[in-house]
Amino acid sequence: MLFDFSGTLFRVESTESWLRAVLDETGHTLPEPELRATARSLEAVGALPGGASPVQLPAHLAGVWAVRDESAELHRAAYTGLSRQVALPDPALYDSLYERHMTPAAWSPYPDAAEVLRVLRERGIGVGVVSNIGWDLRPVFREHGLDRYVDAYVLSYEHGVQKPDPRLFSVACAALGADPRQVVMVGDSKEADGGAAALGCRVHYVDHLPVTDRPDALLPVLHLVG
């Protein structure tokens, strides 16, 4: 079984939490109304990876946005480019925000993620994580105790290919030694994760919701495999 990362097994913190953490870490302060307004602006421009998509994508970022998950450099350029549309008290904060989202503290597993992965391991079913991403998410899984259940990580930036390109799913199936026709891909994006269907994988979708609003959406996948 293959899983997407963001919005499927884990969810990133809220944009306001993200901004507050970075301001605290760097010793900056903003009046409360300004902090909340800035967080709303950052959310609107889509500055938080794993958060909301841009309401309107600037023309000068359209090219890098389309291929943002193909390398670490492109990913950083896309998201720091978006965040720079919003005024912050120190130019260094744009990179600090980007660094924050790559930390385990910025991510929370969905409530049923551990149980689902544990049961799959007990049943002897191989598990792979296939993610469009520009950084190494393995420390997030280790910090939250889920790395023990994952047999393979296939990350777009490490292969220069991003979902829905079937090649990324093919790499994942090969890493598990699995026939794609016997594999289920679980994700939150019909556009990206649906690419697995081109190989013959079954695809199961979950909603990309806050952790508190999605307590058990992963549990049904246990009925999709023997």
Task: Clarify whether residues 183 and 193 are in a common domain.
Answer: yes
Alpha helices (H) along 7-155? 15-26, 32-44, 62-66, 72-83, 93-101, 113-122, 138-143
Tokens of 145: 């105790």
Task: Tell me the one-letter amino acid at 30.
Answer: L
Q: Which residues pair with 55 in a beta bridge?
A: none
What pTM was computed for the model? Answer: 0.96
Tell me the residue range of the domain where 36 lies.
Answer: 13-106
CB-based contact 169:201 (threshold 8 Å): yes
User: Hey, what long-range contacts does 135-143 have (CB within 8 A, 24 or more apart)?
Assistant: 135/72, 135/75, 135/102, 137/5, 139/104, 140/10, 140/104, 140/107, 142/104, 143/104
Listing DSSP states for 26-40 in one string gives HT----HHHHHHHHH
d(CA 94, CA 121): 40
Walk along the chain (226 residues) and give the pLDDT tens digit of each residue: 999 999 999 999 999 999 999 999 999 999 999 999 999 999 999 999 999 999 999 999 999 999 999 999 999 999 999 999 999 999 999 999 999 999 999 999 999 999 999 999 999 999 999 999 999 999 999 999 999 999 999 999 999 999 999 999 999 999 999 999 999 999 999 999 999 999 999 999 999 999 999 999 999 999 998 6
d(CA 210, CA 11): 7
- Which positions ≥6 away from 40 have C-beta within 8 Å? 15
Closest CA to 119 of 196, 10, 218: 218
Task: Clarify whether residues 62 and 24 are in a common domain.
Answer: yes
Task: Clarify whether residues 118 and 138 are in a common domain.
Answer: yes
Task: Clarify whether residues 22 and 85 are in a common domain.
Answer: yes
Question: Domain count of the chain?
Answer: 2
Task: Clarify whether residues 95 and 111 are in a common domain.
Answer: no
Task: Clarify whether residues 187 and 123 are in a common domain.
Answer: yes
Task: Clarify whether residues 97 and 21 are in a common domain.
Answer: yes
